[in-house]
Amino acid sequence: MKKILLLIIASFAINLNAQIVSCTELFISEYIEGPANNNAIEIYNPTNATIDLTEYTINRYGNGATSGPDVWPLSGSIAAGEAIAVGNGQLDSLWVSTYWSVPVDPVFYNACGIHGSGLYPTPFYFNGDDAMTLEKSGNIIDIFGKVGEDPGNAWTDDASAGYTDANGGTWWTKRQTLVRKASVTKGVITNPILFNPTLEYDSLPDATYSGMGSHNCDCHTTNSIDENVISYVMYPNPANIGSTVTINANAKIESIVVVNILGEKVLTQISNKIITTNLARGTYIINIRFTDGRIVDNKLIIE
């Protein structure tokens, strides 16, 4: 009896550890699946503190896959009460196997705070039937869709078909902008038995990009957010020699200074991009200097 009781207590403790308390962890706040490749995922910080993005990734499980997702690592930080929209960055036509992949349109591109590399495949080539996850250190902290299920063209509002499009329900995850309801205060960490997109999301018309980069949530009121804290993302990180590292922020960047492990300045850029061609492999500190005098530091790894 004692052994059984201990097992029950241990099981209960594990279940508690698997939960996310409201307003304590990042979650997906907006999903955009627009015309062509105009796709983006917005991430929201519902906490009262700035969160380092180093351990976080956005992942795509395409067409019912359960393993081997396309992964996009994040780097930088996101301030309390702020949202960052990460979108497809394809600017030119791209030949993919048997067809031409068209670029995103300028309105969408400018609405994104951060852009993927634009090289196929990245997670931002989802097309309505792919499950998306936000993960921290390899652990899922939010799921959009259902990992392992291919719903057809999209998940729908049709309960009789298990919210797939088997019976011709209204598409909710293709050619739609979906915004997380303000009442949602944490992510979904358990793969759902059925994914009903109408439960936690409001649907906006196709190609609606105006709300990207901001989110209303019951975790925060407008006067609880410190507008002086900078949110920024640096990508890719780690980066290969010869690649371009881009930094996007919610404040105007004046310059970027790259410092090696000896404390020596090795590069200064008067832009939001770092050209890594002349950098050796190793770890660097990036001093990001803003026009209002603020400075933030971030680690950059060159491989």
* Residue range 101-125: mean pLDDT, rounded: 86
Please report the pLDDT score of residue 227 as a whole number: 57
Record the pTM.
0.83
What is the rounded distance in angstroms from the CA atom of residue 26 to the CA atom of residue 248?
19
In the predicted model, what is the mean pLDDT of residues 134-153?
Answer: 97
CA–CA dist 124, 115 (Å, integer): 9
**Quick one: pLDDT at residue 193?**
97
Question: Is pLDDT of 7 > 50?
Answer: no
CATH of domain 25-224: 2.60.40.1260
Which residues face 265 on adjacent strands? 259
Rounded to 5 degrees, what angle do the CA atoms 124, 208, 186 make?
Answer: 65
* Tens digits of residue pLDDT in 65-85: 999 999 999 999 999 999 999
DSSP lists the bridge partners of residue 301 as 283
Type of residue at 214: S
Residue 233 has a pLDDT of: 84
**What's the pLDDT tens digit per position in 31-63?**
999 998 999 999 999 999 999 999 999 999 999
Cis-peptide, bond into residue 236, ω within 30° of zero: yes
At the topology level, CATH places domain 236-302 in Immunoglobulin-like (2.60.40)
Q: Please name the residues in contact with 174: beta carbons below 8 A apart, sequence gap of 6 or more.
A: 33, 127, 128, 129, 153, 154
The more confident residue out of 231 and 154 is 154
Q: Residue 217: its pLDDT value, please?
A: 96
Domain assignments of the chain as residue spans, ordered by start? 25-224, 236-302
How far is residue 151's CA from residue 165's CA, in Å, rounded to a whole number? 6
Residue 113 CA, chain-centre distance (Å), reads 11
